[in-house]
Structure 1
Amino acid sequence: MLNRREMLSHSAKVAALMATAGLLPQAAHAAYNTRAFEVKSMAELMKTLGAGTPAESKDVTITGPDIAENGAVVPIGVSTALPGVKKLLVLVEKNPSVLSAIFDVTDAIDANISTRVKMGQSSNVYAVAMMADGKVLFAQKEVKVTLGGCGG
């Protein structure tokens, strides 16, 4: 029977073999456009991302509360059934940075995300779908915040 020291020694050898064979996961790093998270308006954001002028569409859906009791954790859902979606974005108009979240989407998954955003004050929240053909579609919803989340 193996004792603890021998077991740890064998485990270390197996881990070293797996690492040299490339079987252990590598560190994952998010790649994002830092400038996109610094802009103050939707028009400036679209220019930064190299996208066209957004058009309002009933094919893009945004869900969220009409009144958020705590601006630090506002649940938002974005979805569309349209094919060819490349990115889904969540924008909060009156936040210090208009871009709250950006998600890369492929045809292998449903273009349906849910997240929580931080809102400092009542504002319009936009769901933006960037399409493979270059179109940019959006939907908006007004969310009223009773307790501020961005320093309030």
Structure 2
Amino acid sequence: MNRRELMASSAKVASLMLASGVFGKAAQAAGEAAGKGAFEAKSLADVVKALGYGAPTESKDVSITAPDIAENGAVVPLGATTTAAGVKQMLLLVEKNPSVLAALFNVSPEVEASFSTRVKMGQSSNVYAVAVTNDNKVLYALKEVKVTLGGCGG
């Protein structure tokens, strides 16, 4: 089974689990919101609109950790942190990837709003770290990452 088939089958299992009530209501709502086009969106504005939020605003309360130059686009380390109060979601977006939304993290009051992961990048692109507050303000930080060897089929 290749990665694409694994992801498709995992999505089907998650959908069945959501429909059967295995997850709590908060997880169901988050899954439904993310499923309404956020992962298919092609820009920052489209992602936040698909998630039901307003216009994003650049903020010094959000920071992004990413290399200036990624030598291998198949494994680019990205991090998002915020000092903003009342954050309920953190997002990582890669502007020129086929799926702009690379990661979505739900944040509870018990969790520090600081996340890191590795993503694939097919080409040099702007990368966004986005924080969504409890009052639905969308704050973001932006950084350009240059890729020397593409990871999305490059």
- Return the TM-score normalized by structure 2: 0.78
Q: Is the 8 A contact 1:67 1:143 kept in 2?
A: yes
C-alpha displacement at 1:141, in angstroms?
0.5
The Cα shift of 1:82 comes to 1.7
Pairwise mapping of residues 1-152 of structure 1 onto structure 2 (< 5 A)?
32=31, 33-34=34-35, 35-152=37-154
Paired with 1:123 and 1:51, the residues of 2 have a C-alpha distance of 24
Amino acid at match of 2:91: L
> One-letter code of the match for 1:100?
A
The amino acid of 1:148's aligned partner reads: G
CA distance, structure 2, for counterparts of residue 47 and residue 129 of structure 1 = 14
After superposition, the C-alpha distances for 1:30-66 in whole angstroms (9 at most, x for unaligned) are: 8632321111111111111000100000010101100
2 CA distance for matches of 1:112 and 1:86? 12
Name the SS of the counterpart of 1:103 in structure 2.
strand
* Distance in 2 (alpha carbons) for counterparts of 1:84 and 1:77: 19
Structure 2's unaligned 5+ residue stretches are 1-21
Structure possessing the higher radius of gyration over alpha carbons:
1
Decide whether the 8 Å contact of 1:83 with 1:107 is kept in 2. no
Q: Displacement, 1:111? A: 0.3
CA RMSD, 1 decimal: 1.6
- Separation in 1, partners of 2:73, 2:99: 15
Give the whole-Å Cα distance in 2 for the aligned partners of 1:141 and 1:57. 13
Structure 1 residue runs of 5 or longer lacking an equivalent are 1-26
Structure 1 stretch displaced more, 33-42 or 77-86: 33-42
Q: Measure the CA separation in 2 of the matches of 1:36 and 1:53.
A: 15
> Aligned equivalents of 2:105 and 2:143: distance in 1?
19
Which portions of structure 1, spanning 4 or more consecutive aligned residues, are displaced by more than 3 angstroms?
Answer: none
* Cα distance, 1:81 vs structure 2: 1.6
Q: Aligned equivalents of 2:59 and 2:86: distance in 1?
A: 15
AA paired with 2:121? M
% same residue: 66
TM-score, scaled to structure 1: 0.79
Kindly provide the CA deviation profile for residues 7-42 of structure 1, in whole angstroms up to 9, marking residues without a partner as x. xxxxxxxxxxxxxxxxxxxx87x8632321111111
